[in-house]
Structure formats: C-alpha cells, structure tokens
A = this chain, B = another copy of it.
Amino acid sequence: MEIVVQKYGGSSLSTLEKLDTLGARIARRAPRNEKLVLVVSAMGSTTDQLIQLAKTLCPDPPARELDMLLTTGEQVSGALMAMALAKHGARAISFTGAQVGIRTSHHHTRARIEGISVERIERSLRAGQIAIVAGFQGVTEDDALTTLGRGGSDITAIALAVALKARRLEKCTDQDGVFTADPRIYPEAKTIPRLSYEEMLEMSHSGAKILHPRAVFFAWKFGVPILVRDSAVEGQGTLISEMEGNVEQAIIRAVTHDASIAKVTIFKVPDQPGIASRVFEELANKEISVDMIVQSTTVVDTNDISFTVKRPDLAATVEILDRLCREIPGAEVKADSTVGRVSLVGLGIRTETRVASRMFRVLAEKKINIQMIATSDVKITCVIPETQVQDAVKAICKQFGL
C-alpha cells in the first residue's frame, strides 16, 4: 500500500469555499495508485480565536481545559473536509488524534508524541477511504486530550508518515515551496527546487515558518521526503530529502529571519561545572526552548552566558533565572526583547570559507551592529536589532544573488 500523507494548514482551510475547492481537487486525484492520509489544522485563525475566548473568560486558564477547548478546532476542520470530499464523490472518514491512537506525554499545550497505533487508519485505507486526521492533538495514557504546541500539525503529519511508512509527506500551503527569502521583504525571492534535511532544519530553526523544526528533524531521522507545495495550484514545489552527489559545491540557499526573539544574558556566572547545565535543565523542565547559546569568559573565573528564546517565553525565562541567580553570588540577569535574527543557510557554508566574512561585511556596511553570532555546518546566524532585520535580509540576498 503506497501511502502519501498530505498536511493542510489553517490558511488553506480558512473558508468553506477553499474547503470546497480542495475537496474537488483531492477527489479528482483520488483514483491514483496511492492511498491518501490528510492531516488538517484548524480553519484560519480558529486556534487564536479560541485562546482569546479562553483568556477573556479566565486570565490563566488551566492547561488541561485549554487543550479540551483547542482540540475542537482540528476536529471541526476534519469533519468539514470529509464532507467536502463526500460532496465531490470521494469516500473519506475523519478522526480525532485520540481515535487514531496518537499517544502523547502529559505536558498539556506542549505535549510530545510517544507513539501511534496505525491500525484504525490502515483499516480505512484498505476500505478505500481517504483518512483525515485532526492535527496538533493527541491523548495521554490517562485518556486526557493534549495539544502539541505551535506547529503541532506538522508534527502529527510527519509522525503519521513515519508510522505508516508513507512514500512522502506533502506539506500543502499557500506558497509553492520554500523561498530563498521572505518574498514580502525581498520580492525577487525564488522557489528553491531541492533542499537537504539539514538545510531545511537550519532554516526552520531560524525563522522560515514553513515547517516546524521537529517535523524536519523526524523526516530526516526516518528518511521521509517532504514536498512543500501550493495547496491550490500544481507547481513544482520544494523537495526536501537526502542530498546525494556533488552537494559539496558552494551552495548558498536562502536567508531566513525572525524579527521577534529575545536575548537573555547571565553575567558573572562562576566558572564551575554544572551551573550552565542547571540553567538549561530548569528551562527545559518548563518546556522553554532555547535557541542560540553563546558563552564567553570575561574576567578570570566567571563567564557570561547569552542565549535567545521566543518572546512569549521571555517572562518565564527571566523568572527562572532570577530565582537561580539568587543562589549564585554576584550573578546578574539582563533581558532584551528588541532583537531579531537573520541567518544565511546553505550546504556551501561547510566548504566555502569566505561566506561568513562576506555576510559580516554586508551588515557592517549597513551599519548593523551584530550582538551575537552562532554558526553550524550549514548556517550562520547573527542577532541584530529588531528594527534592522528587513534591511539585513535585503542586503544579504543581494550580496549572495538569491
């Protein structure tokens, strides 16, 4: 049974008209030699509206109940998608995450998938039905409904693709593939036909919102190709897979950015083993994901540790650090929520030594002050003032001909 998993995001499902058109498109495609599993997000901005509703009623809603509320969003779009397909003559059946046995951890609003039982879906596929699964949600051992956090529907889709040994995952969105830069900032941006998992992972981490980094990571780990394509028109899209052959040529793929991160620095951390691990363990316990981490020794025996977090996590981060610092004599915490990040991504960074210096020079010419630098095999990231992110993206794109 050749299975293809397609993931449809909220903007592809934002109106009944779009659902109807999608239903017709998918139904037309159905007779092919592939079985379809569709993973759907909530319609349009439903999730945000539900969160708003909850917070209006109760400023600090219990996370378990927030999950009970939010999981309805994907259940609604799944049912409507099944109806749209039925209208156009395709046989489809929708499921909640719980119904297809997407077992998760108990961390409400940020749960992790721990296992999937694919029997129910496979039974539907064998019966000739298109299986529709509500994304973003699962169920704990104790039968409580959970959600997977932002981007959770991508995680659902890749986890299903892996569990079902799918031929590929198609991420169906409102643009035809992954672009060399955000076209709203750099209109000359182009679709990238092929990307390696590593490049896509680095791009996801550094602000390309097209795929959740955990989704890319799982796809890489289990070797599931991802095709990013437009849900409304047949285009070429971007294929993300293992790259073979002459990949070592100097390829610079794309510029990504995130204009809304926060930087945190702990000054004067004693140069003793265990302090840094304690800081990041406590943050991990709260499911706060830390991005770039830079440590430098300023004076003898103490370090400064800087890292970036998502802005919504800043308050919780500072609270944890303030508590820890009370136990570390002399340590101080400073937070800056006015920074952004710009990254250059490409396999060429591994081999082409002058990429970094060219990037720094461009920023210097634009009088953009670099506050932090981090590099990986395929990415160079600079933290810069939020207000200069757009200028930086444009300048770097021009410099590297993207």
Inter-chain CA distance A367–B96, complex, in Å, is 57
- Per the 8 Å Cβ criterion, residues 52-75 of A in contact with B are 53-54, 56-59, 61-62, 64-66, 68-69, 71-72, 75
Stretch at the interface among A78-86, A189-197, A270-278: A78-86
Chain B's closest residue to A74 (CB) is B72
Is the pair B76, A93 in contact by a Cβ cutoff of 8 Å? no
Inter-chain CA distance A86–B68, complex, in Å, is 14
Given A72-B72, A76-B72, A65-B53 contact (CB < 8 Å)? no
Inter-chain CA distance A198–B56, complex, in Å, is 44
Check: A316 CB closer than 8 A to any chain B CB.
Answer: no
- Per the 8 Å Cβ criterion, residues 80-103 of A in contact with B are 80, 82-84, 86-87, 93-94, 96, 98-99
Is the pair A84, B68 in contact by a Cβ cutoff of 8 Å? no
A57 CB contacts on chain B under 8 angstroms:
16, 19-20, 80, 83-84, 87
Inter-chain CA distance A186–B75, complex, in Å, is 44
Is the pair A86, B66 in contact by a Cβ cutoff of 8 Å? no
Contact sample, A vs B, 8 pairs, CB 8 Å cutoff: A16-B56, A50-B76, A54-B80, A57-B80, A58-B83, A62-B82, A71-B75, A72-B75
A86 CB contacts on chain B under 8 angstroms:
58, 61-62, 65
Chain B's closest residue to A76 (CB) is B72
A62 CB contacts on chain B under 8 angstroms:
82-83, 86
Inter-chain CA distance A358–B50, complex, in Å, is 56
What's the least CB distance linking A206 to chain B, in Å?
35
A144 CB contacts on chain B under 8 angstroms:
99
A58 CB contacts on chain B under 8 angstroms:
83-84, 86-87
Q: Which residues of A contact B (CB under 8 A)?
A: 16, 19-20, 50, 53-54, 56-59, 61-62, 64-66, 68-69, 71-72, 75-76, 78-80, 82-84, 86-87, 93-94, 96, 98-99, 120, 143-145
Q: Chain A at the B interface: mostly helix, strand, loop or mixed?
A: helix
Inter-chain CA distance A59–B84, complex, in Å, is 10
Chain B's closest residue to A72 (CB) is B72
What's the least CB distance linking A45 to chain B, in Å?
16
Inter-chain CA distance A56–B17, complex, in Å, is 10
What's the least CB distance linking A19 to chain B, in Å?
6
What's the least CB distance linking A402 to chain B, in Å?
41
Is the pair A94, B80 in contact by a Cβ cutoff of 8 Å? no
Given A19-B57, A99-B143, A64-B87 contact (CB < 8 Å)? no
Inter-chain CA distance A59–B16, complex, in Å, is 13
A83 CB contacts on chain B under 8 angstroms:
54, 57-58, 61-62, 65-66, 69
Chain B's closest residue to A100 (CB) is B143
Inter-chain CA distance A398–B84, complex, in Å, is 54
A59 CB contacts on chain B under 8 angstroms:
87
Is the pair A82, B94 in contact by a Cβ cutoff of 8 Å? no
A16 CB contacts on chain B under 8 angstroms:
53, 56-57
Inter-chain CA distance A79–B75, complex, in Å, is 15
Inter-chain CA distance A20–B56, complex, in Å, is 10
Chain B's closest residue to A55 (CB) is B83
A99 CB contacts on chain B under 8 angstroms:
143-145
A84 CB contacts on chain B under 8 angstroms:
57-58
What's the least CB distance linking A370 to chain B, in Å?
44
